[in-house]
Amino acid sequence: MWNFLHKLASPPHFYSLSAKMIPWFHAAGLVAIIYGTVAGLFYAPVDEEMNDGFRIIYVHVPAAYISMLAYVVMAISAGIGLIWRMKLAHAVAAGAAPLGAWFTFLALITGSIWGRPMWGTWWEWGDPRLTSELLMLFLYFGYMALRAAIDDTVKADKASAVLALVGAVNIPIIHFSVEWWTSLHQGATLVREGGPGIHPDMLYPLLAMILGFTLLFGALLLARVRTEVLHRERRTRWVRNLLVPAGETI
């Protein structure tokens, strides 16, 4: 196991293995998303209270879930990079940030489109769930800006890792905000005592969407980490040999 992990963390090995894995993640993610979209839009029964409006959850919930998953991946990788000085871990953290920002943006936009008809407002300043999710978007921006501002990769890794770890405080706040304070946002539907409070015909497309988004996020993260690894290893022999095969004249 350790041997496998050690090998995986070696940049040239990661670079070639990830290339083989990315298409599979893309394909599997696409299948799940297509099933979830078709079933969610056309086959799931109409919600009694929210009519067809509830179908927004099929994109909103997975986007919000990935927005937080990306942060957890980023913070844990940043922590591993800080403690064990593992370069690949910092590359993972750096790759997760822009993806996290996109999914947070998506969660906020689709949530806003939901809020207009359901709560009568696009946005509510001071609402704990909405505000903490927005704060996460700024944490992602801050992380990326900090990295971009520091030329030295090692210094950028360290400084941005500290920011990622400090900002991780926001994750439980987002998650429990709807329990701790009064919020416009509804409570948890899937993860709660007594099982999911939703009809199976509504539930399965949602689970498929969550799975599909997770697989797609996996593919995107691998792709971004690959690019990051290539850039970080630009002065090494293996990158040189990869780009200019031996024997080829320049």
Partner 1 sequence: MEIFMMGKYSAHVWSSFGITAVVLIICVLQARRRHQVVLSDLKTRIKAMESEQ
Q: Does 106 bind partner 1 (CB under 8 A)?
A: yes
Tell which one of 59, 75, 136, 215 touches partner 1 (CB under 8 A). Answer: 59
Q: Does 108 bind partner 1 (CB under 8 A)?
A: no
Tell which one of 110, 170, 177, 214 touches partner 1 (CB under 8 A). Answer: 110
Q: Does 55 bind partner 1 (CB under 8 A)?
A: yes
Encoding tokens for residue 106? 């998506």
User: Of the ranges 84-92, 122-130, 183-191, 228-236, which one interacts with partner 1 (CB under 8 A)?
Assistant: 228-236
Site for partner 1 in 165-204 (CB under 8 A): none
Beta bridge partners of 47: 51
In whole angstroms, the minimum distance from the beta carbon of 51 to partner 1 comes to: 5
Q: Does 83 bind partner 1 (CB under 8 A)?
A: no
Q: Assign residue 85 a region: left if phi > 0, alpha if psi is -120 to 50, beta otherwise?
A: left
- Cβ atoms of 18 and 10 within 8 Å: the answer is no
Tell which one of 6, 7, 199, 240 touches partner 1 (CB under 8 A). Answer: 240
In whole angstroms, the minimum distance from the beta carbon of 105 to partner 1 comes to: 7
In whole angstroms, the minimum distance from the beta carbon of 109 to partner 1 comes to: 6
Q: Does 223 bind partner 1 (CB under 8 A)?
A: yes
Task: Give the nearer residue to partner 1 in terms of CB position, either 60 or 129.
Answer: 60
In 3D space, the residue among 156, 114, 158, 155 whose CA is nearest the CA of residue 133 turns out to be 114
Beta bridge partners of 51: 47
Tell which one of 113, 134, 168, 203 touches partner 1 (CB under 8 A). Answer: 113
Return phi, psi of residue 51, to 5°: 50, -135
Site for partner 1 in 18-47 (CB under 8 A): 26, 37, 41-42
| Site residues, partner 1 (CB under 8 A) | 26, 37, 41-42, 50-53, 55-56, 58-60, 63, 98-99, 102, 105-106, 109-110, 113-114, 116-117, 216, 220, 223-224, 226-227, 230-231, 234, 239-240, 243-244, 250
